[in-house]
């Protein structure tokens, strides 16, 4: 079960990031287990040679699977392909297979981690302020500006005698800016620049869009992709889509903005997948949805971020879904 869940997650993420196809990686992991547990199986070896010689992508998937397996202290790729492993009885092979199959989830998870780690490591090296999942942080910058970081957020700061600049590398932050007419405060956030003198506003960088909510004061916002500028007044909620720079401006009560500061998450006609992506930042466990049907269902509701497990239940139960507590570090949402 866990192996299937991680395989599904790995297939989605690796395909999304344009690397080795998740299905090929899964096939490679299956071959690795079969050859490791039955090294003398001639027919399997012939079938494997046919598979690995199909294309360069098949060979790369095999190499990546082997590298992942080695991270777990397992057999080297050369030993697997050469058949150097000792032969085993059928009973021994079955027993070993059960033990190995139980670790396939870890292997695929490690592979996923290696594939996705690079951009996160880069951001973390650049960041001056960081929070992990389910962690919040409030800091005062050297000019007196107050920054509240939501979970899983990274911020870089760059101050001088003539300028104040911060970059929201990922996540979400609420800024209460100390006025200084001689040094405008500038926030860069994934294709958006916000320029202020003194005000309070929330900025959220997501995979598909960057949003800015103005609580009080005034800000000048520039959508870099279209090079268009906008002036926001209190109650303006502004969204810039990452793919094409398209902008959307709506109005809401300033009291309802930055609801995460009060442990509230309100969504309207959002997919379950997008809500889960948000809840991951507030949960210490990884949350995955193998079912694309469940992931694509749409919801409208208010969820309590201080109790993410209850939020998950409230999210999927109306659609016939269940939250499986696989371990303290894994939640699986499915129809089963």
Q: Which CATH number goes with the domain that contains 250?
A: 2.60.120.1440
Q: Could you give the C-alpha distances from 258 to 57, 102, 226, in angstroms and in order?
A: 45, 42, 26
Name, in order, each residue with C-beta under 8 angstroms of 166's C-beta and a sequence gap of 6 or more: 141, 147, 155, 156, 157, 158, 175, 185, 186, 187, 188
DSSP 8-state symbol, 72: T
Same domain membership, residue 134 and residue 233: yes
Separation between Cα atoms, residue 274 and residue 277, nearest integer Å: 5
Separation between Cα atoms, residue 162 and residue 24, nearest integer Å: 53
Q: Could you give the C-alpha distances from 171 to 157, 242, 258, 326, in angstroms and in order?
A: 15, 15, 13, 26
SS3 40: coil
Side-chain-side CA neighbours of 159 within 13 Å: the count stands at: 10
Same domain membership, residue 233 and residue 267: no
Same domain membership, residue 114 and residue 140: no
Same domain membership, residue 248 and residue 137: yes
Same domain membership, residue 300 and residue 275: yes
DSSP 8-state symbol, 167: E
Separation between Cα atoms, residue 210 and residue 241, nearest integer Å: 7
Show pLDDT as tens, one digit a residue, over the chain (336 residues).
334 433 344 444 333 434 555 667 767 777 776 666 555 555 566 778 888 888 888 888 887 777 655 544 444 444 444 433 334 444 444 444 444 444 444 444 444 444 444 444 455 567 899 998 899 999 999 999 999 999 999 999 999 999 999 999 999 999 999 999 999 999 999 999 999 989 999 999 998 899 999 999 999 999 999 999 999 999 999 999 998 999 999 999 999 999 999 999 999 999 999 999 999 999 988 898 888 899 999 999 999 999 999 999 999 999 999 999 987 888 889 997
Same domain membership, residue 235 and residue 142: yes
Of 91, 123, 155, which closes a domain? 123
pLDDT number for residue 228: 94
β-pairing verdict for 185-188 and 164-176: parallel
Q: Where are the beta strands (DSSP E) in the chain?
A: 129-130, 137-140, 146-149, 154-159, 164-176, 185-188, 192-196, 200-205, 209-216, 219-223, 228-232, 236-241, 247-251, 264-271, 286-288, 298-304, 322-327, 330-334
In angstroms, what is the C-alpha Rg of the chain?
A: 24
Same domain membership, residue 105 and residue 23: yes
Same domain membership, residue 284 and residue 206: no
Q: What is the CATH number of the domain that holds 294?
A: 3.55.50.30
Total domain count, the chain: 3
Same domain membership, residue 272 and residue 187: no
Same domain membership, residue 93 and residue 35: yes
Same domain membership, residue 226 and residue 208: yes
SS3 169: strand
- Is residue 247 within 8 Å of 224, Cβ to Cβ? no
- Is residue 155 within 8 Å of 128, Cβ to Cβ? yes
pLDDT number for residue 48: 80
Of 68, 94, 123, which closes a domain? 123
pLDDT number for residue 55: 87
Between 22-37 and 2-16, two packed helices, what is the crossing angle to 10 degrees?
A: 140
Of 75, 105, 123, which closes a domain? 123
SS3 108: helix
- Work out the end-to-end distance of the chain between its first and last CA atoms, rounded to an integer number of angstroms: 12
- Residue 66 belongs to domain spanning: 2-123
pLDDT number for residue 11: 40
Same domain membership, residue 247 and residue 138: yes
């Amino acid at each position: 079960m866990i192996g299937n869940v991680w395989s599904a997650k790995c297939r989605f993420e690796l395909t999304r990031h344009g690397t080795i196809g998740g299905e090929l990686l899964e096939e490679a992991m299956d071959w690795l287990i079969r050859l490791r547990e039955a090294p003398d199986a001639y027919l399997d070896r012939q079938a494997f040679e046919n598979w690995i010689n199909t294309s360069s992508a098949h060979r790369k998937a095999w190499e990546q699977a082997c590298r992942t397996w080695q991270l777990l202290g397992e057999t080297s790729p050369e030993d697997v392909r050469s058949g150097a492993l000792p032969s085993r009885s059928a009973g021994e092979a079955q027993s070993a297979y059960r033990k190995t199959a139980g670790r396939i989830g870890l292997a695929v998870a490690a592979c996923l981690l290696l594939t996705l780690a690079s951009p996160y490591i880069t951001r973390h090296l650049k960041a001056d302020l960081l929070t992990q999942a389910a962690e919040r942080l409030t800091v005062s910058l050297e000019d007196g500006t107050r920054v509240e970081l939501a979970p899983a957020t990274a911020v870089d700061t760059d101050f001088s005698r003539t300028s104040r600049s911060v970059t929201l590398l990922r996540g979400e932050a609420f800024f209460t800016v100390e006025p200084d007419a001689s040094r405008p405060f500038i926030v860069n956030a994934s294709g958006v620049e916000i320029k202020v003198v003194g005000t309070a506003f929330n900025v959220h960088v997501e995979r598909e869009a960057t949003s800015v909510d103005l609580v009080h004061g005034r800000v000048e916002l520039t959508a870099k992709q279209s090079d268009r500028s906008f002036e926001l007044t209190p109650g303006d909620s502004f969204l810039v889509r990452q793919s094409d720079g398209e902008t959307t401006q709506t109005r809401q009560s300033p009291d309802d903005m930055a609801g995460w500061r009060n442990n509230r998450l309100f969504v309207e006609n959002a997919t379950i997948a997008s809500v889960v992506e948000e809840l991951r930042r507030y949960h210490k466990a990884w949350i995955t949805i193998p079912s694309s049907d469940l992931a694509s269902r749409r919801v409208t509701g208010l969820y309590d971020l201080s109790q993410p497990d209850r939020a998950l239940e409230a999210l999927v139960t109306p659609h016939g879904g269940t939250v499986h507590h696989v371990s303290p570090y894994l939640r699986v949402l499915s129809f089963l």
